[in-house]
Amino acid sequence: QVHLVESGGGSVQAGGSLRLSCAASPSVYNYMAWFRQAPEKEREGVAAINIGAPLTFLADSVKGRFTVSQDRAKNTVYLQMDSLKPEDTAMYYCAALDGGGRWPLRVGDFAYWGQGTQVTVSS
């Protein structure tokens, strides 16, 4: 019933940029987020957006480099990633919940997840 589909991942050199997209159906949910998970590491929250305001949130590790935004007409949330570092290499996942979310993000709060898109940053 609920589908989240990420796209836009790829390989880039340090300092480069990528834009990830999360297409939601049947519509965007009230609180949507981006997580990432590198091999042998825990899944960590990166960014979130409260659709109604919108209010946005960014982890300290990406603040000043990443931005999260939405296009309501396309039912899509974006993660613009600039000044990428090798430490940003991970699988990036879109997630959603209905109602109010929390910051910092908690994996257990989210009922809906996309399949992930790989981001690889080389030095």
**CA neighbours closer than 13 Å in the CB half-sphere of residue 116:** 12
Q: Phi, psi at residue 72, to the nearest 5°?
A: -60, -35
- Residue 18: the pLDDT is 98
- Residue 28: the pLDDT is 82
106-109 contacts, C-beta under 8 A, 24 or more apart: 106/45, 107/35, 107/43, 107/45
- Residue 52: the pLDDT is 82
- Residue 105: the pLDDT is 96
* Mean pLDDT, contiguous 10-residue spans, the chain (123 residues): 93 98 90 96 96 90 97 94 98 92 94 96 97
- Residue 29: the pLDDT is 84
- Residue 100: the pLDDT is 82
